[in-house]
Amino acid sequence: MPTEKVDQQKSVAAAFGKQSHHFETDDSSNLVLQEWRKRIYSHVNQFIKPKSRILELNAGTGIDATYFARLGHTIHATDISNGMIAKLKEKASVFSGNISVQQVSFDQLDNVGGKFDYVFSNFGGLNCIEDLREVTRHLPGLLNEGAFVTWVIMPRISPWEWTWALKGKFAEAFRRLRKQGADAHLEGEYFYTYYHSVDKIERSFGLDFQLLKSEGLGIFSPPPAAQNFVRRFLGLTNFLTRFDRVLSKISPFSRWGDHVIVTVLFRKKPY
Ligand SMILES: C[S@@+](CC[C@H](N)C(=O)[O-])C[C@H]1O[C@@H](n2cnc3c(N)ncnc32)[C@H](O)[C@@H]1O
């Protein structure tokens, strides 16, 4: 593996390892994240079949794995970070049989065995990799025919961030458009974040996958990081959130936002 990639993955694993200790407290106290998780679940629940076998990428502490296990699905939860894996193992011991855990990077899914009905990746884990094809190339071998893949990823167009330009913060406002990735600083660790357009995500899957739905999160409403804005302007936040919910399903807004929810169907073409 090239040194830059090893360094990127080491820094990412270290940063999220440190974050794992307070990840769930931060998550449960953030109103925007709570609302978005509900929207993501209602998106997935349109497609997922009862008792599905789910492969979860960058599963973090297992918030979503727990949600899906409670619905009767079986989850193989994977992540790169030691700290996150320790939290996942605690969850797996409670939901014995429904959650299994494996420490693996999502570009090394050839180390994962079995066949799955659904692949799920939430909240930007896949923004830690530059080329999504390093992940998608493993999927056909892991999926049952008719399987779904839902990824929640940070896209390149985020109108909320453009408003930073009004405050003179041009570099931050347009950081998502940088081809070579933007610098990320988390828990004292430095790594790159790569923003992926829905077109690029769709292309990365190739011909055996069909885009079913894309939905924007945080198009004009504040993102999870804007907690001060949310506290000060709760009425306006609620209005913008309702406005977003309507727009989020209409193109091009369905492809914009702080994050997008993208679902594709795996249907192997007869060649
Ligand atoms: C923002 S957290 C999201 C966690 C979880 N999906 C959630 O929604 O709560 C991003 C996660 O991506 C994981 N991650 C980043 N790069 C990874 C990689 N190459 N392979 C597997 N997991 C990775 C991190 O360790 C972290 O747990």
| Distance in Å, CA 17 to ligand 1 centroid | 10
| Distance in Å, CA 123 to ligand 1 centroid | 8
Residue whose CA is closest, atom 25 of ligand 1? 81
Whether 270 has a pLDDT exceeding 70, the answer reads no
Supply the pLDDT for residue 6.
74
Supply the pLDDT for residue 226.
96
What φ, ψ does residue 52 adopt, rounded to 5°? Answer: -75, 155
Residue whose CA is closest, atom 27 of ligand 1? 60
Average pLDDT, integer, range 220-238: 96
- What is the C-alpha separation between 127 and 120, in angstroms, rounded? 14
Which residues sit opposite 153 in a β-bridge? 260
Ligand 1 pocket, residue 65 CB under 6 Å: no
The alpha helices in 20-81, defined as continuous H runs, are: 23-28, 31-45, 63-70
pLDDT, tens digit (0-9, with 9 covering 90-100), for 98-127 = 999 999 999 999 999 999 999 999 999 999
Tokens of 259: 């994050």
Tokens of 90: 């605690």
What φ, ψ does residue 244 adopt, rounded to 5°? Answer: -60, -40
Instruction: Indicate the top mutation candidate among 35, 128, 136 to test ligand 1's pocket, ranked by most ligand atoms within 8 A of CB.
Output: 128
> Considering the chain, what is the average pLDDT of its residues?
96
Query: Which whole-number Å values give the CA distances from 130 to 57, 68, 81, 140, 209, in the listed order?
Result: 16, 28, 18, 20, 20
Ligand 1 pocket, residue 127 CB under 6 Å: no
Look at phi and psi of residue 146 and say left if phi exceeds 0, alpha if psi is from -120 to 50, else beta.
left
- What is the C-alpha separation between 63 and 60, in angstroms, rounded? 8
Average pLDDT, integer, range 153-171: 94
Average pLDDT, integer, range 248-259: 97
What predicted TM-score, i.e. pTM, was given to this entire model? 0.96
pLDDT above 90 covers a percentage of the chain that reads: 94
Burial bucket for residue 161 (CB in 10 Å: 0-12, 13-18, 19+): middle
Look at phi and psi of residue 123 and say left if phi exceeds 0, alpha if psi is from -120 to 50, else beta.
left
Whether 268 has a pLDDT exceeding 90, the answer reads no
